Amino acid sequence: MLYVLRTSGFKQSVCDQSFYYGPISKFWACAFVLSKAPELGDTMFIVLRKQRLIFLHWYHHITVMVYSWYSYKDQVAGGGWFMTMNYTVHALMYSYYTARAAGVRVPKPCAIIITSSQIAQMAMGLAVSALVYQWMQDGDCPSYIDNIVWASLMYLSYLLLFSSFFYQSYMKGSKRATSIKNE
Please give the Cα distance from 157 to 133 (Å, whole number). Answer: 19
Query: 118 with 161: CB under 8 angstroms?
Result: no
Catalytic residue check, 60:
yes
**Quick one: how far is CA 178 from the chain centroid?**
20
Catalytic residue (one of 57, 60, 61, 90): 60
Angle at 119 between CA 99 and CA 170, to 5 degrees: 65
The residues that are catalytic are: 60
